[in-house]
Homo-oligomer: A and B are copies of this chain.
Amino acid sequence: MNSKIGSYEFVIDHAVCDLSGKAPLPHLFGLLLKSAGRHADERGFGFTNLSQQNKAWVLSRVGIYLNEYPSAEDKITIHTWVESVEWFISRRCFEFVDTDGKIMGIAQTIWAAIDLETRKPCNIDELGSSINDFLGADKSFAEKKMVKIGRVEEEPLFLHSLKYSDIDINGHFNSVRYVERILDVFDIEMFESLNVREFEITYMAEARPATKLSFHKKTLAEQHFALEIKDTANQSTICRASVLFQ
């Protein structure tokens, strides 16, 4: 095993599965973040290390591409590695693998390291972290180019005031909850016959407990949608996402 790659095993708990008996995408996204956190912590460039410098990793973009979803009680392994570091930006990749070694899906995430005082991004090379020692994992990755998601100008579907369960340990809208709230825009019936094949999200601004959000949806093609969450106070964009069902 190449130590540049971290491999983490999970069992899909019966209690987290959706009405189709599969692990929902937000749950798999949570496991992916857990794997990323463990991989970085074990190698000395995780949240703990950065927080000693009053810095933190901030998630900027995520793309998840799944051919298959694991079912209740299935074991899956998530492989993760740092694909590149460029100035302010680190790109981390993932594979979801079943017990036969078959790749069920892939994912990519874009992270920035920010200074917690100024909230500005830092040059990752100047962090003095060990991240560069773990570049160059010998791993072929069927790269998916993340496309810029355009503005969604449609009228709001509904407004949402952030609730207790939406807020994370930093007092911001929890990254996994964004994904739940976005999928909850769609009728439950869609999830009976279709799966989310591709999900991309770009986090553009922080939402805090007092932020009142509006949700907007545009149909790009059959079963392919763009979504935008805006801050109702000034119409600025909180995040944009695209969802492809198949």
Contacts and interface: CB of A to CB of B under 8 A. Distances in A.
A125 interface: no
Interface string A1-25: 0000000000001110111010010
A209 interface: yes
Interface string A201-228: 0000000010000000000000000000
A164 B176 contact: no
A167 interface: yes
Question: Chain A's interface: helix, strand, loop or mixed, by majority?
Answer: loop
A235 to B, nearest CB: 23
Interface in A147-200: 162-171, 174, 176, 180, 183-184, 186, 188-189, 191
A34 interface: yes
Contact of A169 (B19, B169, B186, B189): B19
A111 interface: no
A26 B165 CA distance: 9
Nearest to A46: B14
Given A14-B37, A166-B184, 19 more contacts: A15-B34, A17-B168, A18-B169, A19-B164, A19-B169, A19-B170, A19-B171, A21-B169, A24-B165, A162-B188, A163-B184, A163-B188, A164-B183, A164-B184, A164-B186, A164-B191, A165-B184, A167-B188, A189-B209
25 contacts: A13-B34, A14-B47, A14-B169, A15-B33, A15-B34, A15-B37, A15-B168, A15-B174, A15-B176, A18-B164, A18-B169, A19-B167, A19-B168, A19-B170, A19-B171, A21-B169, A24-B164, A24-B165, A72-B169, A162-B188, A163-B184, A164-B186, A167-B188, A188-B209, A189-B209
